Amino acid sequence: MTGTLNAFAGAERMTAVIANELARRGYTVHILSLWDAASCFDLEPRVRHEALFAQRPSFKKRFVSTVIGIRRYLNRHRIDVLIEVDTMLTLFTLPACAGLGVRRIAWEHCNFDQDLGRGARRVARRLAVRTCEHIVVLTQRDRDKWEQALGARNVVAIPNALPFAMPEKRSDRTSKIALAVGRLTHAKGFDVLLHAWKIVAREHPDWRLDIVGDGELHDALMTLRNELGLSASVRLLPARRDLSDLYRGASLFCLSSRYEGFGLVLIEAMAHGLPVVATDCETGPREVLGAAAHAALVPVDDADALGHAICRTIADPDMTARMAHLGIERARYYEANRIAAAWLPLLEQSEIAGAHQSGVNPQS
C-alpha cells in the first residue's frame, strides 16, 4: 500500500521494483494506492494496482472513508500481509486492520532524523513500532537510530534495490559531462552544487554539468545558475523515466544532498561505471558507497569542498578508473533479485533470530 505510484520518486519506484520481483517469484501482489490509479513505472501482469481515490483528497476530511476503503479492499481480496510504504500510512492501516488478522509491515524511506516537519510522522512511527510485525528501513545506520530512540527490536535493514539489470553497456567516461539526478528540493542541495560548479567551471571550462529532475526549486535554481554565470556550462533537464542514456553519456556523478533516506541514484550511477563525488550526509551515502576508495565524500553544505573534490576527480584518470571498477562491483550487491530475497523471511513469517539485525548488509 502506498500514496501513489504516479510520481518519479524513490519510494514509488522501489514499490514497483519489489512488487515485480515478488510477482516473478509466484506471489499474488496487490498495490493499493491512496490516490491515482496511474503508474510511472511498469508493473508485471501479476501485479494488480488500484487506487481508492482518483485524485489526492484532504485526508483530514476523508479519514474515515479512507480507513473504510482500505478495510473493504483487504477483506475483498483476502490480503494476508500488508506492506505500508511509509510509516505515515499506519495512521490509516491500524484502524483499518483491526480484528482482521492481517500481518502489517511498515517500510520507511525517510531517515529517522527527518520527519519532514510533521509531528504526525513521529506519532505514526511510534505506533508502527508497537503494532507492526516489522519496520523495514534502508540502512543499518537508520536501524540503529530506531533502536536507540524508540527501543525498537523489530527493525530490519533492507536496502533499496537496483531498479534495472546490471547494464551490459556502461559509460566509457570519454565525455566531459558530470551528472546529478534528483527532485529539485532543498534536501538535494543543488544550490550547493551550483556554487561548487563555479569552481569546476573555472578550472575545467570544457566540462558541463547536467542536473536532471523536477521540483519546486526549478525557477530558483535557474536564476542562481544565471547569477553565477554558469548558463553555458550547466543544464537543468526534466525528469524522465529512463536515465540510462544520460548515465552512459556522463563521466562523473555528483550527489550534493543535505540528507538522504538511501540514495538510489548512487547505485544506478555506479552500475553504469560512473565515479561518484557525494556529500557525507545522513544516512545513505557512506553505507551505500562502502569503502573510501569507492567514491569521494565531502561534508554537507560545503560548496568549496564539493567543487575541489570534483576537480580532483576530473584531474586523476587513474583514480576515476579505480572508482568506476569498484563501483560496478559494489552495485552488484543491490541487484533486485538479491534484495527481494531479503524480504521473503518477513513475508513467510519465518522465525528470524535477532530480527533487528537481519536484512542485507553489503560489505564495505
Residues 318 and 347 both lie in one domain: no
Residues 308 and 233 both lie in one domain: yes
Give the range of the structural domain holding residue 224, as residue numbers without chain letter: 177-332
| pLDDT(351) > 70 | no
pTM metric for this prediction? 0.89
pLDDT of residue 350: 41
pLDDT of residue 286: 83
pLDDT in tens, 97-118: 999 999 999 999 988 988 766 7
Residues 318 and 341 both lie in one domain: no
Q: Residues 296, 325: contact at Cβ < 8 Å?
A: no
Residues 189 and 90 both lie in one domain: no
Mean pLDDT, all residues of the chain: 92
By three-state DSSP, how is residue 201 classified? helix
Q: What is the mean pLDDT of residues 172-183?
A: 97
Checking 51-60 for CB contacts under 8 A at 24+ apart, the result is 51/4, 56/3, 56/4, 59/34, 59/92
Residues 205 and 142 both lie in one domain: no
Residues 182 and 325 both lie in one domain: yes
Buried b (16+ CB within 10 A) or exposed e, 99-122: eeebbbbbbbbbbbeeeeeeeebe
Q: Residue 347 is inside which H or E element, if any?
A: helix 336-347
Residues 204 and 299 both lie in one domain: yes
User: Residue 364: pLDDT band by 50, 70, 90 thresholds?
Assistant: very low
Q: What is the mean pLDDT of residues 139-168?
A: 94
Residues 30 and 157 both lie in one domain: yes
User: Residue 361: pLDDT band by 50, 70, 90 thresholds?
Assistant: low
Residues 350 and 279 both lie in one domain: no
**Position 301 in a domain:** yes
Can you tell me the distance from the alpha carbon of 99 to that of 112, in angstroms, rounded to the nearest whole number? 30
Residues 211 and 236 both lie in one domain: yes
pLDDT in tens, 283-341: 778 888 876 667 899 999 999 999 999 999 999 999 999 999 999 999 999 999 999 99
**Position 2 in a domain:** no
- Any bridge partners for residue 135, and if so which? 106, 155
**Position 260 in a domain:** yes
Residue 163, CA distances (Å) to 21, 126, 172, 216, 343 in order: 10, 30, 21, 25, 16
**Position 299 in a domain:** yes
**Position 228 in a domain:** yes
**Position 22 in a domain:** yes
| pLDDT(24) > 70 | yes
Overall number of domains in the chain: 2
Give the CATH number for residue 97: 3.40.50.2000
Residues 326 and 349 both lie in one domain: no
pLDDT in tens, 197-211: 999 999 999 999 999
Q: Residues 206, 296: contact at Cβ < 8 Å?
A: no
**Position 82 in a domain:** yes
Q: Residues 105, 132: contact at Cβ < 8 Å?
A: yes
**Position 224 in a domain:** yes
Give the chain's count of helices (H) and strands (E). Answer: 13, 12
**Which of 348, 344, 354, 351 lies closest to 158 in space, CA to CA?**
344
pLDDT in tens, 243-266: 999 999 999 999 999 998 888 999
Residues 140 and 212 both lie in one domain: no
